[in-house]
Amino acid sequence: GEIMLLSERWKVALNDAGHVYLLFDIQNDPAETENLAGRADLVEVESQLQHRILERIVQSQLRIDLERAPV
């Protein structure tokens, strides 16, 4: 499935392969009319947001594993 993250400035979505396919600057484009995904000048932003999403997935998986662990 798709995964989305909303930060103070950015809204980003990853596809099933984990690649950014939607990127909006919600401070300057609150209506989300211009998809910025794939722009060369935003590669670092995409990478940072992608990393944040993957970190959250790992953290949530660890919590689930700990909750299911026998006591």
Q: Return phi, psi of residue 38, to 5°.
A: 90, -5
Domains of the chain, CATH where assigned: 3-68 (3.30.1120.10)
pLDDT in tens, the chain (71 residues): 789 999 999 999 999 898 999 999 999 999 999 999 999 999 999 999 999 998 988 888 877 666 776 76
What is the pTM for the complete model shown?
0.81
Q: Would you list the DSSP string of 3-57?
A: EEEE-SSEEEEE-TTS-EEEEEETTT-TT--S--TT-GGGHHHHHHHHHHHHHHH
